[in-house]
Amino acid sequence: MSVWTISGALASEGPQPLPLPPQIPAAKDIAYPGTVELVVTATDLDRHVLKVSERVPLPSSVTEKGGDVVLLYPAWLPGHHSPGGPISELAGIGIKSGGKPVPWVRDTVNVNTFHIAAPAGTKELELSFQILTPITPREGRVVMTPEIVNVQWNMVALYPAGYFTRDIPYSVKLTLPHGWHYGTALRASQAPVEDTVTFETVPFNTLVDSPVFAGQFFRKIDLNRSGETPVALNVVADRPEWLAATEAQISLHRALVMQAGLLFGTHHYDHYDFLLALTKELGGIGLEHHRSSENSGPEGYFTKWDKTFPVKDLLAHEYTHSWNGKFRRPADLWAPDFNTPQRGSMLWVYEGQTQYWGYVLAARSGLMTPAQTLDAIAMVAAVYDRRSGRTWRPLADTTNDPIIAQRAPLSWRSWQRSEDYYSEGQLIWLDADTLIREKTGGQKSLNNFAKTFFGVDPGSYVTRTYTFDDVVSALNGIVTYDWASFLHDRLDRPSVHAPLDGLKRGGYRLVWTEEASPYLKAAEALKKARNFDFSLGFTVDSKGVLTNVEWDSPAWNAGLAVDETIVAVNGMAFDGDDLADAVKEAKVPAKDPLTLLVRTRDRFRTVVIPYHLGLRYPHLERVAGSADVLGTILMPLK
């Protein structure tokens, strides 16, 4: 029987697909024959350009006969959980051998892959190129400013295909603006020469895992006692006065290091460097590494200490990743190189439990007070308990979101759900912690899991992977229970409510009042926004722009959407305080509904919201007669 197309031709006469390009050589766990030399110049601050040269020695088989040399630009970056390598910023590629140009061609399928036809006799390739980093946030994350540079080695290097990245040694030189200082987990092999620092040779995976923060205004603060494994806080800032940390503030960061050590029982680094940028210009970041972490905070992190506590869990979160995520890593998130796809099925452990310990360690160290931490937990519980998307999308599916959404802005996050495995994962681990305490009469807790699961192999730097069954087995090693069902129930099934049993067992309940908590007020001030998510159903910035609209909320039902601008409230020009007052005044049902004049680009319309329930903000309230288990969890370890 013949099959005909719409045009009347036989289907077999239609076009057929061309074959795909040859597969990229698979990575093998064998030593690369030589050391790649990488030189980066980070002085072009006005144009935001990083200049790069690279010498790649070639295997003897290529030198003897010539052939196709495949170089890769990193795509899958640890901590991003998605193929986010900024390949579009790579420009000006020139390749030579012995001073003569060598042609190259980009793979038409894997665009981070470059094929170089090396003639016989070619011993090495001489590469030169630039990384055109974003000039404004509109183009991407800004990594170069007049005062600060953030060098991420994955951005500035190509590497040979066919090898595990741990088997490719790199020798690196970095030139910085005159007089600048830097922080990194890398160590210099010699004293700087004319603003150029030469680092010790390390495997490529270690290099990528060791970014640099450099700045005109820099301060290094030791966070441990003499004789202990070195831990330092390296701070860069837009202005020198922002570096003014007091001894009391420094002592809290030292307490963080001590509390993490008590929690995990050991560490897996020979030194650790917190990298912290206090800036309005450098792009925001919180990214984990094995021996360091990249973090950014508000300019008043130290100088306005009492106003910036909503971001004080960040360092604790990223530090925890040295154990959870870097040393111990989900098996499907580990890859032999940076161009092999990763999978994130266990991100509810990698990120969710890290989010939990971030809050707990911030409280135990004093970076946040117990009251501030309880207010923060109340916000998490409230947001995820009323997350409308949870009725159709199970939490486990959100672990695919780094690949699906690439962390791009979403129109309806409350319905789409995004990366909810972070904070809803945090609630699951609070649930598990309180359950362990309940079943053991307070004799054991998630602290025991942290020590036995992440504290193994003291001093080892070698990544140990884990699976779902490994997590279940480790939990059963603490207390016997049907942990597989416990986790599947919370991960794999849509639900109406968030897993809040941990609050109940912890001695608290989620309640609502008309007064925002100090934590929420401070968070609003940092973001220059007002949060009406739990009443009207939106968040609005200081200019009246809607930055979030909750699905199926009063605002949603009235037809509002993100990026629209509230011009006026009940006939008066928009003001956040006036809007809050109007919500209060409309509480009595007999009152007129709230009337907003809204601008959507060049169009204006009047939106009426018949809402009369007043302001609503979440808090945690002690359950009378119950033990304060949550308070105990937040107490420092001894």
Q: Say whether 87 sits in a helix, a strand or coil.
A: helix
DSSP category for residue 205: H
Give the position of tokens 């196709």. 68
Closest-CA residue to 335 (of 157, 81, 107, 87): 81
Q: Say whether 596 sits in a helix, a strand or coil.
A: strand
Q: For residue 316, which amino acid is it?
A: A
CB contact set of 593 (below 8 Å; sequence gap of 6+): 586, 608, 609, 610, 611, 612
Handedness of CA 450, 376, 350, 113 (dihedral sign): negative
d(CA 534, CA 379): 10
Closest-CA residue to 221 (of 197, 257, 259, 190): 257
**What pLDDT does 6 receive?**
59
d(CA 235, CA 337): 31
- The DSSP-derived string for 475-524 is HHHHS-S-HHHHHHHHHSS--SS---HHHHHTTEEEEEESS--HHHHHHH
Q: For residue 163, which amino acid is it?
A: Y
* C-alpha dihedral (555, 556, 562, 565), degrees to nearest 10: -40
d(CA 598, CA 572): 12
Handedness of CA 360, 364, 370, 372 (dihedral sign): negative
Helix, strand, coil content of the chain in percent (nearest 5): 30, 25, 45
CB contact set of 6 (below 8 Å; sequence gap of 6+): none
Question: CA angle at residue 453 from 385 to 435, to 5 degrees?
Answer: 40
Could you tell me how many residues make up the chain? 638
d(CA 195, CA 201): 19
d(CA 22, CA 345): 29
529 beta partners: 541
11-20: which pairs have CB atoms within 8 A and are 24 or more residues apart? Answer: 20/109
Tokens for 105? Answer: 């061609």
What digits encode the pLDDT tens for the residues 434-474? Answer: 999 999 999 999 999 999 999 999 989 899 999 999 999 99
d(CA 618, CA 616): 7
CA 147 to chain centre: 24
DSSP category for residue 312: T
Closest-CA residue to 337 (of 66, 103, 24): 24
**What pLDDT does 524 receive?**
97
No. of H helices and E strands in the chain?
A: 18, 31
Start-to-end C-alpha separation, the chain: 81
d(CA 566, CA 598): 5
What digits encode the pLDDT tens for the residues 516-548? Answer: 999 999 999 999 999 999 999 999 999 999 999
Tokens for 587? Answer: 């509480």
Report the relative pairing of strands 538-541 and 546-549 from DSSP bridges: antiparallel
pTM: 0.95
**What pLDDT does 591 receive?**
79
**What pLDDT does 462 receive?**
93
DSSP category for residue 556: H
**What pLDDT does 10 receive?**
61
Residues 190 and 57 sit within 8 Å (Cβ to Cβ): no
d(CA 257, CA 273): 11
Q: For residue 8, which amino acid is it?
A: G
Tokens for 291? Answer: 């021996």
C-alpha distances in angstroms, 179 versus 53, 195, 216? 23, 7, 7
d(CA 329, CA 476): 20
Tokens for 469? Answer: 């069954």
Query: Per residue in 232-249, is it b (16+ CB within 10 Å) or e — as a string?
Result: bbbbbbbeeebbebeeeb
**What pLDDT does 227 receive?**
85
Provide block-wise average pLDDT over 10 residues at a time, the chain (638 residues): 58 82 93 98 98 97 92 95 95 95 95 95 97 96 98 98 98 98 97 95 98 98 91 98 98 98 96 98 97 97 97 98 98 97 96 98 98 98 97 98 92 96 98 98 98 94 96 98 98 98 98 98 97 98 97 97 97 96 88 94 96 96 97 98
Closest-CA residue to 507 (of 376, 380, 368, 374): 374
Percent of the chain exceeding pLDDT 70 equals 98
**What pLDDT does 23 receive?**
87
CB contact set of 31 (below 8 Å; sequence gap of 6+): 167
232 beta partners: 222, 273
CB contact set of 582 (below 8 Å; sequence gap of 6+): 569, 570, 594
Tokens for 622? Answer: 């002690």
